[in-house]
Amino acid sequence: MSFYVTTPIYYVNAQPHLGHAYTSIAADVLARHHRRRGDDTFFLTGTDEHGEPVADAARAQGLEPRAWADLNAEKFKALLPAIGVAPDFFIRTTDAEHKRRVQEVLQRVYDNGHVYKGLYEGWYCPRCADFKTESEILDGNRCPIHEIELTREQEENWFFRLSAFQGRLEQLFESQPDFVAPARARHEAQAFIAQGLQDVSLSRAKLRWGVEVPWDEGHVFYVWFDALLNYYTALGYARAGEDLTARYWPPSVHLVGKEILKFHTLYWPAMLWAAGLELPRQVFVHGFLQGSDGRKMSKSLGNGLDPFAVLERYGADALRFYLLRDVSFGGDGNVGMDAVASRYEAELANEYGNLVSRTLAMLVRYRDGRIPEAPVDPVLESELASLAAEVAAAIDGVDPSGGLELIWQRVRRLNRYVEERKPWELARDQDASTSLDSVLVTLHRGLQVVTTELGPYMPDTSARVLQALAAIPLEVIPPLFPKTP
RNA sequence: GCCGGAGUAGCUCAGUCGGUUAGAGCAGGGGAAUCAUAAUCCCAAGGUCGGGGGUUCGAGUCCCUCCUCCGGCACCA
């Protein structure tokens, strides 16, 4: 079975921040999980580099758009290894191969009769040489940048016949309710359709920084059509000399933030139909990370969480754990450094890290680091045996937070088990040797099970602990999650 | 304004189809234990389920209304 997961491609104008890290980490956890269970897995991320804001920013820096994009794309690329994220390919929409394929697909959309020439009318700023959207203009129809009055102008544009897909989209949401998840995201998409869809412009005549429209060279494609197609084009050239399209298309799941729901749940399926391509199986819409005060993170409020500060203090595994543990994936959540510290100390250091420490210490002290020959305690056997399947079901359903909770129930269970069986008392009693063997084997086995399941979430930690548990003789290792880092 | 979502313990959240005494973690309180990173475990306490009204034998759950917050509102990405 193949599994193809994507993140949105990140717009190069922004600096990499927590939101980018969040989606990338979630996608990475899904990818690692599926890969481990044997699915033929492909994980795509990348950068979106066209459109007017990029051209503007480049100009402001005195750079060519491409040079500016190169600079910023590097920052996004560099973020990934720092947070333990390992995609199979990093696409840039300025890749020549991407552009060629965008033209190919959209030419097909054109040939299939879904495109027509129309008039785009809007508010135009002569100083910006650009149209402004209704939402950004100031009172009195003034430019948000120059504060001068805008003029009503028209431009000849190519339009995509989105309205023609209204019925098909309605049908899609009814017949395939999990196309958009969670349910509240689907409701939002359906409400949007119910309002009635209008055609959208597919090209821009006044802009140069984009993919040229092959049937009309004076135009470039509107950046969203270029950007969405990355999910398709990447498969064509991610591996030199190999086309992966047949192997991975259609995508299993697109992870997206809720601010881009409309593009992924309405425009995207319509465009794929228009091009005669298969639809992704699911668009999963996750929530927003908000500041610890429950408000949107912003520099002026000073309520943001800096991923780089977390990395520096606690490391990549702790950041990955924290984000998926403290915020139920799919909903919004509040995050902050205090909460990171609290999860780190209470759960990673005290509960899990200390469980590793005490288990290894007892095996070393009581059995010279040898794992005794004894059966796993039947009290815990079934609980441990069922964990892998339960976690798999959770992650398959794009609920990584749920999977983590299931793992943590076992971590707590194992600490409780230690207290119940009191191995230090058994060790003082000559007649209890068999019981002690069984307790130690059970703890060793339990740790192996939970640590294996933690693999997709905390790859480094998981690998280190599994190695320590396999060493002969076993040795005490330094604290995995030291306090007061 | 319109559309969608949220409001449950001091904090973060779960709560299925309307059904017994509304659950968990953290923080705070009390205790046990000494294998361990002073880490763990147990116990008790903690609630006007945002306000008001309605339906029902019965409402955190369904309906109406009001308040607060978040996102979107069509071509900024």
Active site residue A77: no
B2 nearest neighbour residue (CA to C1'): A195
> Residue A99 in contact with residue A107, Cβ under 8 Å?
no
The count of other CB atoms within 10 Å of the CB of residue A177 is 12
What residues of chain A score a pLDDT lower than 70? 124-148, 292-303, 485
Question: Is the ipTM reported for this complex over the cut 0.90?
Answer: no
Active site residue A143: yes
Active site residue A146: yes
What burial class does residue A12 get, using C-beta atoms within 10 Å of its C-beta: 0-12 exposed, 13-18 middle, 19+ buried? buried
Q: How many Cα atoms occupy the beta-carbon half-sphere of A190 within 13 Å? A: 18
Residue from A143, A219, A264, A444 carrying the catalytic annotation: A143
Position A32 scores a pLDDT of: 96
Position A128 scores a pLDDT of: 56
Position A54 scores a pLDDT of: 86
Fill in the DSSP letter of residue A241: T
Position A143 scores a pLDDT of: 61
pLDDT digits (tens, 9 = 90+) for A388-417: 998 998 899 888 988 998 999 999 999 999
Nucleotides in B strand less than 7 A from protein CB: 3-6, 12-14, 25-27, 33-37, 39-42, 69-77
Residue from A34, A98, A114, A125 carrying the catalytic annotation: A125
DSSP track, A341-404: HHHIIIIIIIIIIHHHHHHHHHHHHHHTTPPPS-PPPHHHHHHHHTHHHHHHHHHHTT-HHHHH
Domains annotated for chain A, with CATH where assigned, are 2-287 (3.40.50.620), 338-470 (1.10.730.10)
Residue from A75, A77, A128, A258 carrying the catalytic annotation: A128
Position A16 scores a pLDDT of: 87
Active site residue A128: yes
pTM of the model: 0.93
The count of other CB atoms within 10 Å of the CB of residue A452 is 18
B26 nearest neighbour residue (CA to C1'): A342
CA of A331 to C1' of B65 (A): 27
